[in-house]
């Protein structure tokens, strides 16, 4: 099928099998390897991207669902060569250890702050409940999200 959708703000057209997962389409067809595959079952959140403003698992979305939709990946966060504020603060707060969950954590944070620029700690925890960090660096991650919202 020919798929037309918006990827990181740019209209994108490609030939793709309808059963291809968005995750594979990004990594294999478009070379955007910032999005990671963890569990492949919607448990770990590593593959989180933002579709039409909502955080979703790119491992559970198929090409046949994407026509006309707007997809934002980690690669779409930088503006004019500058990292997004969330990315800078994650680095400053050492909210990254091995880094594998980081893309998903940042995309879930981005979606949260798009809806709710000043979330409470409970709201942050709810928004990130579907993102697992196996290095267990949650304290630093929460601190980074809080600081980002305070400095927004």
Q: Which residues bind other proteins (CB under 8 A)?
A: 1, 17-19, 21, 40-43, 45, 48, 51, 54-57, 59-65, 67-68, 108, 126-127, 129-131
Query: Quick one: 109 or 148, whose CB is closer to other proteins?
Result: 109
CB of 81 to other proteins, least distance (A): 29
Query: Quick one: 54 or 92, whose CB is closer to other proteins?
Result: 54
Sheet of 48-51: strand order equals 10-15, 2-7, 70-72, 48-51, 54-57
Query: Quick one: 32 or 56, whose CB is closer to other proteins?
Result: 56
CB of 63 to other proteins, least distance (A): 8
Report the alpha-carbon distance of residue 3 to residue 109 in Å, rounded: 28
Are 123 and 116 in contact by the 8 Å Cβ rule? The answer is yes
Query: Quick one: 37 or 75, whose CB is closer to other proteins?
Result: 37
Q: Copy the structure tokens of residue 135.
A: 């290095």
CB of 68 to other proteins, least distance (A): 7
Are 50 and 72 in contact by the 8 Å Cβ rule? The answer is yes
Query: Quick one: 22 or 96, whose CB is closer to other proteins?
Result: 22
Taking CA atoms, 3 is separated from 61, 73, 147, in Å, by: 14, 17, 38
CB of 88 to other proteins, least distance (A): 24
Which residue, 78, 50, 89, 52, is CA-closest to 67? 52
CB of 128 to other proteins, least distance (A): 8
């Amino acid at each position: 099928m020919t798929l037309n959708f918006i990827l990181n703000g740019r209209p994108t057209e490609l030939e793709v099998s309808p059963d291809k997962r968005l995750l594979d389409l990004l990594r294999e067809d478009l070379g955007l390897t910032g999005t990671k595959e963890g569990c492949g079952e919607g448990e770990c959140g590593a593959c989180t991207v933002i579709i039409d403003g909502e955080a979703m698992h790119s491992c559970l979305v198929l090409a046949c669902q994407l026509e006309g939709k707007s997809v934002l990946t980690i690669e779409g966060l930088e503006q004019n060569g500058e990292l997004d504020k969330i990315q800078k603060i994650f680095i400053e707060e050492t909210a990254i250890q091995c880094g594998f969950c980081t893309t998903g954590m940042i995309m879930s944070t981005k979606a949260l702050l798009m809806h709710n620029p000043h979330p409470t700690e409970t709201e942050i925890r709810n928004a990130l409940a579907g993102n697992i960090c196996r290095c267990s660096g949650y304290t630093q991650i929460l601190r980074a999200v809080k600081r980002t919202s305070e400095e927004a």
